[in-house]
Structure 1
Amino acid sequence: MNRLPIEDVLSPLQTAIGNGTAVVLKAPPGAGKTTGVPPAVLQTLLDKDTVGQIWVIQPRRLAARSVAGWIAKSRNESVGETIGYHVRMDRRESATTRVLFMTTGMFLRRMQSDPLLEKVACVVLDEFHERTLELDLALAMTHRLRSELRDDLGLVVMSATMETEPIVAFLNRSNPQNAVPLRCEGRAFPVSVHHGEDRPGERIERRIVKPIREALESSNGHVLVFLPGVGEIHRVQSELERADLAGDARVVVLHGSLSPKQQDEAIRPSKFRKIVLSTNIAETSVTVDGVTAVVDSGMAKVPRFDSRRGLTRLETTSISLASADQRSGRAGRTAPGEAYRLWSQAAQRSREEYDVPEIMRADLSDMVLMLASHGETDLFAMQWLTAPPEHAVESAQSLLRMLGAIDGSGRISEGGRAMASLPLHPRIARMATVAVGSLAKSSVAILAALMSERDPMESISSMTLAEKVEAIETNRVPRTVPASSIKAIRQIAETIRKSLPGNASGEIESTSELDRETAVARALLSAYPDRVVLRRSDSPDRGRMVGGRGVSGLTRVLGEISNEDLLLCFDVDGGGTESRVRAAVPIREEWLDEEQVQTLASQSWDQERGAVRCRRQVTYGDLVLRETPAKVPCNDETASILFENAKTELPLGGLKFQKLLHRIGMVGEIDDQVPVVTGEMHLELLRQLCMNRSSLQELRSAPWKDHVLGMIGYSAWQIVQSEAPEEVTLPGGRKAAVHYVEGKPPWIEVKIQLCFGWPETPRILRGRTPLQLHLLGPNGRPQQITNDLASFWATTYGEIRKELRRRYPKHDWPEDPLSATASFNGMKRR
């Protein structure tokens, strides 16, 4: 057998492990680290008579199973003897197992029941460059355990493309001798990398056919094609069939939704040439024997959690340079290879060097719940290679409080412990713990499996979720659904069923009168209380979700099965301006949490009426379920709404009030005893008058004068009355109103005959301001406007008198107006 490059570093690795030092190992693809390191660590433990297992942690189930099988075969053993594995739905382990491969999720779950890892001698974290949330958490918890309680616990962190320095520095924070870096210089076969052209907007399935053809022509082995997701795999598969490109090669698919058997068949050695269409499941650890060419789309689907909306959505994003190198390296495992990339050399330079750690973009609720079950309420007190974002932690804690899993201080509740004991996301765990009160355990398990995994009947929109559960339970699944997919769901359900509380028979102990549809809907509501949606009356396809988010696609999802307005949209895509609903069930208002349903009066402004209106609302959280008109209450909220809308209408109170403000302002400029009514005082006056009122009409008729006089005081008002009088006395004893208008001099309107005998223009404001006189003829129309009456008598009156005598001969028009007697009607005396 050829010597593997990893063998060059196994001796120092074994020395470090034997001395209790952690190892951070970087070894390129094909060096043999995944298959070489665990047996080497085992040999070290055997040499030192150290008991305990070696746990090798893999991000993916397929890798854990296949590597365990390869090593067991190389030892001429069956899997489950010295070498075993434990992944979801599948476990091969015995009392003699010393090396146990498992996924990160399984490692964390086993750590819940054995927090000190008492049966473990060494933990190996493989493919750490992927920086999944669970890998980061596994490192943090293992490091804390080694630092505080288990200094004898071995640790190896390894990958092909990771940066070793930050990890070594992290492990050495408390003890500089705690970890050492090791690097293996690989001897992989050379891979020629070919870059394509950037074609924005063109679909992958059309761009990728040409490089697949070139890969088939330039190499003799299998062709491994990396695609973002299952949808792209199926489209490329169809495109290859149309192009008749495969020839003698067989097209096979490889992704995480396949059953273990289907995955094994895809990577198994074959006599026939294969074109393997794969997601990034084949990027690390998993080796497809005989691959000599790789075609890389350069894209991957990455789950990204939007903590503001509380939704996780898959984003198709460009892979990092490290991932691209990892993928290309698959072509050089057994012979010189070719790698074809869909992006240009120029685009290569714009890619990130490494992937963003998942802890920076993931839903952290599962992690927070697991740590709470360990008594850890302060996540930031732990040491992290990359600390989780504060907003994401707060969002996770908020969700768990909503589900009743933790209390306000972060301590786990009894219900939370039940949820944490299940191998499910906290939402699905909450649903399962509620559903066991009204459904058989077998039904609950199938329901949880359908919610956790890809639904094999997703395309059958005519079936409700409850009907799908019943179809699987009674073996009445439509023939169009692949039997292998249903078998996988049943296997997952069986694993879940064993974890559920209840009696051994699997049936509920208490009786329930709920039908299956209702039981499922109510269980879903307990898990997704924040996904309640009220349909829009004007658009049945759309609705509004708790939190204010709009949703669409309701008609497509629900079809004709329901015209209910209240829905639970438990599967929602967070992308776009509106969330797209993928699955929903009708619910009833009486099912909602009573503590979250409130009846309250809500005031708002009616612009058309210029008044506050009140609606009595029944709300669930911030979602208005229904509302009816109600009497507007006389309270602070009503006054505040009126004030905010009335202040843009100032001045109110009519012309008389405006005149009053002007008089006060003029006097205030000459007398410090009179306060000037400022804009702030005017607003305060408005605020007072808004109390116990609800409309602009009421404000306009409010006693503005009384309030402003109360504001300036009685003595100041007396000064205003004296210096800016409302009227003046004319020579004949009659009175004329003084007009005060902002921007104009004060003035009076008076007939000329009433001014006879008045030698000077009357003055106000301590004689500083003459009144402007609008002198009227007998017909009430102005003949002259002046603020100098003496000058008018001396110069202009004579000319006007001639015209007036002609037009009004019966009126008296004396030559000397100063000696004449004022007369109201101005007629000549008989």
Structure 2
Amino acid sequence: MRTVGLDLPVRTAVPALHAALADRGCAVLSAPPGTGKTTLVPLALAGLVDGLAGPARRVLVAEPRRLAVRAAARRMAWLLGEPVGERVGFTVRGERRACAATVIEVVTTGVLLQRLQRDQELPGVDVVVLDECHERHLDADTALAFLLDVRAALRPELELVCASATSDTGAWSELLGGAPVVAAEGVSHPVEVVWAPPPRAVRPPQGTRTDPALLDHVAATVRRALAERDGDVLCFLPGVGEIARVADRLRVDAEVLQLHGQAPQAVQDAALSAGERRRVILATSVAESSLTVPGVRVVVDAGLAREPRTDHARGLAGLVTVRASLAAARQRAGRAGREAPGTVYRCWAEVEDARAARFPTPEIALADLTSFALQAACWGDPNARTLALPDAPPAGAMAAARGVLTALGAVDRDGRATERGHRIARTGLHPRLARALLDAAGTVGPRAAADLVALLSEEPPRAMGDDLHAILTALRARPDDPYARRWRAESGRLRAQLQGRGGPAAGGADGARPRPDVPPPAGSAPTAGHAALVVALAHPERIARARGPQGPYLMASGTAAELAPDSRLGGTEWLAIAVADRPAGSPSARVQRAVALDEATARRAAAPLLTSREEVEWSTRGGDVVARRVDALGAIELAADRLDAPAPALLRSALLDGLAREGVTALLGWPPAAASLRERLAFLHRVLGAPWPDVADDALLLAADDWLEPELSRARRRADLQRIDTAGALQRLLPWASGQAGRLDELAPERITVPSGSRIRVDYTGDRPVLAVKLQELFGWQAAPALAGGRVPLTVHLLSPAGRPAAVTGDLAGFWREGYKAVRAELRGRYPRHPWPEDPTTAEPTRRTNARR
């Protein structure tokens, strides 16, 4: 039987790898891109490489992407001179090509997780190679933690290799209990760096939007690279949309290929094989590692990447465009030097590297953790506290995930997986989609349920629009469309799951695949109502109702949502939203995929969100209490009736809300006696502090329990608040317990008796208390009393006989000496009937005029 003789750089590291596995059972392999770690190492571990003696093992290789799985399996099978499916096979979700003779099987990390959940011992596997572990995909991190548990408790003889294309291997070695690090030296072809920033400033990415000016510049840089350098050009862009837009901008004498995870198999094969013409390969991050793209001598790097983001409060998850890390930029540049010296054109200024992250952010820190939390629960560690993960999951994200799983019935109150949870996990779907598949099948039928859930799990191209039912109808009429073929394959896998004969990765537990290309029987096409039910079951919190004839919409989660202006769903009252995101800085979500819904289906699919509640609120529009009984689906109001006898606690809360919104001063009644008492208390609090109370609006609101009861408990509306005896209520705030309340009139008297016998009200509204009194009533008074225990002197406003201020003083004796003469000279001619003695200090104070002569 044929073996392989390869002279790749990683070959020199294989003996050390064999020794590490023999000694410790695990190892970390550091091998730069292009050294052969993805192809030669599995072949060597299986004993299929000439001159690299070692035990013949059955090897399972886990890759983070389906594209890499197929490419690696095809490459190894080609080296052996065999078709895929014999000694080298592969399994991805929905497709398995392997047989009893297979000794190397390449799988996605998701498939590996499914196998571990089904049988933790991985029978028939001698060694697992986790490739590209440096990329920090969540499934890979989880699989590593599970495998470490298996080695510790069940199969210590199971060998484990963590393979990384970067040199930061210390953390991986520590995680594997001090495993040996085996390093392979790559062939270091020099790569020239050409800094090619845009000629003018471009806007930073927002959400998944990339400035068209940057895409224009990337296209121009590709054309420049073709003119200045030889060889194929590999251009890195963040997503499928950017790839399509740059392809539209290119007008070049070269074959242009679009390489991404959803690309047709023919395109993937063409990109991964040497071409006869010069090529431009526009690729996402799938081409950073794992795959060799032959013929590439030039890399053009847009400098952007996509990362997951989850808005747990709104229940929205998606991808955002970010600046690529320095490690990713090095990986991309290395693609130009795999086979010969090359060049990388970086579409940013060199100085921007100072602000870039060194490594990609681990997916566990960013992603929706619902699937991970279910995996951990099914593994027996609901909180993931004992799993040997490179990074712990964020507590908030785990709490949100457990909330979703509890609502789905996938975990119990303690977080342990239920039987339903295990069944959901076995589908290989996100738990929300699995719930929709299982619960809808009995209503719409297994085929319709599988068709619709497959559509939700295999996201269709954006060009197909946002109406899911219209997309489904179009797909059924396109039997040869690449996406339609993938959709039918996934639908077949899900039907097999529902019929109890589906394995976690392929159509059947014995490796037999379902027949996805068998046309559905007549009359079995899912209706729009079926689509609405399935989407609503998957995402009940995204059921939305229009707020007006043309929207916008309010989702059950409480988030606003808007359709695109050209949406075919415009004017629909109810929507079941499958995919939505919230652009940066936008208050509303943007609907990307949805289907028309009716209220009856909404109520059925989201029954746990239905509530009937008493709603008692302060209406800012009406300025009063509004009490209603409201039937709602989450945040969506379905019906409302007047509530005549609201609960006292809700009523009190609404009144307090009104006081907070409008202010205690504005909403309560303040007759003169109440206003005066409040001003005196405010003065004493300002000057003396405790125990004199703060009577500002905010303080009075906080102390409502202390001074507004029981009046507040009896109030039902605005008018009741305005009738409260605020003067009597404020008395409750006086410092009775300390005995200081009795000194109120001494420290801050409401009125002061002046020499004429009049009792004059003190004005406490300003910074200092003011006594405004006619000048003649103060004759003989040398000083006004100081208030607050002598701390604050009175300011005296001396009034003319007409009541207008004639002088202001805080030193009455000084006024009599120096100011009085001028006032007397000015006013006695104007007011001759009033006394104007030469010596006011000895004159008789009076409120009267002189007697007529």
Q: What is the TM-score when the length of structure 1 is the normalising length?
A: 0.79
SS at match of 2:435: helix
Measure the CA separation in 2 of the matches of 1:317 and 1:782: 70
Question: For 1:5-404, what aligned pairs fall within 5 Å after superposition?
Answer: 5-43=9-47, 53-172=58-177, 176=178, 179-199=179-199, 200-201=201-202, 202-215=213-226, 217-219=228-230, 221-240=231-250, 243=251, 245-246=252-253, 249-404=254-409
Asked if the contact 1:657–1:704 (Cα under 8 Å) also holds between the matched residues in 2, the reply is: yes
Counterpart position of 1:518: 529
Once the two structures are superposed, what CA deviation does each residue of 1:276-296 show, in whole Å capped at 9, x if it has no partner?
A: 222222222222233333332
Do the aligned partners of 2:6 and 2:40 also contact (CA within 8 Å) in 1? no
Shift of 1:224: 2.2
Q: Which runs of 5+ in 1 are unaligned?
A: 669-674, 753-758, 809-821
Larger Rg, first or second structure (1 or 2): 1
Hey, what's the Cα distance between the residues in 1 that align with 2:333 and 2:830? 110
Q: Secondary structure at the match of 2:42?
A: helix
Q: Which residue of 1 aligns with 2:508?
A: none
Q: 1:354 to 1:741 in 2, by over 3 A?
A: closer
**Aligned in 2, Cα 1:443/1:620: closer, same or farther, shift over 3 Å?**
closer
Q: Deviations over 1:348-403 (max 9, x none)?
A: 45433322222222222111112212222121221112222222222222222233
The 3-state SS of whatever aligns with 1:612 is strand
Amino acid at match of 1:228: P
Does the Cα contact within 8 Å between 1:31 and 1:187 map onto a contact in 2? Answer: yes
Confirm whether residue 529 of structure 1 aligns to residue 540 of structure 2: yes
* 2:653 equivalent in structure 1: 637
Change in 2 beyond 3 A, CA 1:156/1:216? farther
CA distance in 2, matches of 1:483, 1:662: 81
Checking the alignment, whether the CA contact within 8 Å between 1:643 and 1:687 is kept in structure 2 is no
Amino acid at match of 2:725: P
1:803 CA displacement: 11
Equivalent residue in structure 1 for 2:584, among 576, 586, 604 = 576
The worse-fitting range, judged by mean Cα deviation, of 716-725 and 102-111 is: 716-725
Q: Which of 667, 671, 689 is the matching residue for 1:654?
A: 671
Q: 2: CA distance between counterparts of 1:368 and 1:404?
A: 13
The C-alpha deviation readout for 1:416-465, integer Å capped at 9, x for no partner, is 22211112111211111122011232222221121112314x4344x842
Contact 1:223–1:295 (8 Å) recurs in 2: yes
Residue type of the alignment partner of 2:409: G
Whether 2:627 is the aligned partner of 1:614: answer: yes
Aligned mates of 1:222, 1:739 — CA distance in 2: 95
Partner of 1:465: 468
Q: Which residue of 1 aligns with 2:708?
A: 687
The 3-state SS of whatever aligns with 1:380 is coil
Q: 2:560 aligns with which of 547, 550, 554?
A: 550
* 1:601 paired residue among 615, 634, 645: 615
Taking a change above 3 Å as real, the CA distance of residues 708 and 748 of structure 1, as seen in their structure-2 partners, is farther
**Equivalent residue pairs, number:** 779
| Secondary structure at 2:672 match in 1 | helix
Rounded to whole Å, the distance in 2 between the matches of 1:298 and 1:375 is 41
1:500 maps to what in 2? 498
Distance, in Å, in 1 between the alignment partners of 2:543 and 2:657 is: 30
Three-state SS of the structure 2 residue aligned to 1:32 is coil
Alignment partners' CA distance in 2, 1:747 and 1:502: 95
SS at match of 1:302: strand
Q: Quick one: which amino acid aligns to residue 204 of structure 1?
A: L
Structure 1 distance, partners of 2:553, 2:418, is 34
Take 2:67 and 2:744, find their aligned partners in 1: how far apart are those partners? 93
The CA distance in 1 between the partners of 2:432 and 2:732, in whole Å, is 62
CA deviation digits over 1:689-735, x for unaligned, max 9?
Answer: 3332255654443334555667779x99999999989999xx9xxx9
Q: Helix, strand or coil for the counterpart of 1:436?
A: helix
8 Å CA contact 2:610–2:631 kept in 1: the answer is no
CA distance in 2, matches of 1:804, 1:224: 100
Q: Deviations along 1:319-343, whole A, 9 cap, x unmatched? A: 2333233223333333333333323
Q: Write the distance in 2 (CA, Å) between the matches of 1:527 and 1:550.
A: 19
Q: In structure 2, the residue corresponding to 1:124 is in which secondary structure? A: strand
Spell out, residue by residue over 1:80-121, the C-alpha distance to the aligned partner (whole angstroms, 9 max, x if none): 222111112321111111111111111111111111212211
- Segment of structure 1 superposing worse, 677-686 or 121-130: 677-686
* Distance in 2 between residues matched to 1:42 and 1:253, nearest whole Å: 34
Match of 1:476 in 2: 477
- CA, structure 1 residues 746+533, in 2 after alignment: closer, same or farther (shift >3 Å)? same
Task: Give the match's secondary structure for 1:252.
Answer: strand
Render the CA deviation track for 1:595-642: whole Å, top value 9, x for unaligned.
Answer: 542322221154764x43434433333454555555584543244235
**Native 8 Å contact 2:612 2:629 kept in 1:** no
Amino acid at match of 1:465: L
2:440: which partner in 1?
Answer: 435
Cα contact 1:432–1:523 (8 A) shared by 2: yes
Alpha-carbon spacing, 1:395–1:51, altered in 2? closer, same or farther (3 Å): farther
Shift of 1:161: 1.8
Greater alpha carbon shift after TM alignment, 489-498 vs 104-113: 489-498
- Rounded Cα–Cα distance in structure 2 between residues aligned with 1:16 and 1:135: 22
Q: AA paired with 1:654?
A: P
Q: Could you tell which deviates more after superposition, 101-110 or 262-271?
A: 262-271
- How large is the RMSD of aligned CA atoms in angstroms? 5.1
Contact conserved, 2:667 with 2:721, CA < 8 A, in 1? no
Where 1:583 maps in the other structure, the secondary structure is strand
Partner SS for 1:9 = helix
Residue identity opposite 2:217 in structure 1: R
- Looking at structure 2, the residues matched to 445 and 664 of structure 1 have their Cα atoms a distance apart, in angstroms, of 73
Structure 1 pair 216/103, CA: closer, same or farther in 2 (3 Å)?
Answer: farther
Q: How many angstroms does 1:783 deviate by?
A: 14
| AA at the equivalent of 1:571 | V
Give the aligned partner of residue 452 of structure 2: 447
* Alpha-carbon displacement from aligned partner over 1:449-496 (angstroms, at most 9, x marks no partner): 21112314x4344x8423543554xx434xxx9622212211222122
Q: How does 1:609-758 map to 2 (within 5 A)?
A: 609=623, 611-625=624-638, 627=640, 630-631=643-644, 633=646, 634=648, 635-644=651-660, 645-649=662-666, 652-659=669-676, 679=695, 686-688=707-709, 689-694=711-716, 697-707=719-729, 741-742=763-764
Percent identical pairs in the alignment equals 29
Distance in 1 of aligned mates of 2:381 and 2:746? 79
2-side partners of 1:638 and 1:365: how far apart? 37
Alpha carbons of structure 1 residues 781 and 558: separation in structure 2 relative to 1, 3 Å: same
What is the SS of the residue equivalent to 2:294?
Answer: coil
Shift of 1:3: 2.1
1:31–1:693 distance in 2 versus 1, CA, 3 Å: same
Q: 1:596/1:554 Cα in 2 relative to 1: closer, same or farther (>3 Å)?
A: farther
Instruction: Call closer, same or farther: CA 1:355–1:630 in 2, change over 3 Å.
Output: same
- 1:186-235 Cα distance to aligned partner (Å, 9 max, x none): 2254433333234431322433334444335522x433222222222222
745 and 51 in structure 1: CA distance in 2 versus 1, 3 angstrom threshold: closer
Q: Is the 8 A contact 2:133 2:140 kept in 1?
A: yes
The runs of 5 or more residues in structure 2 that have no matched partner are 203-212, 503-513, 686-690, 835-845
SS in 2 for 1:96: coil
Partner amino acid for 1:258?
A: A
Distance 1:287 1:805 in 2: 109
SS in 2 for 1:576: coil
CA 649–81 in structure 1, closer or farther in 2 if over 3 Å, else same: same
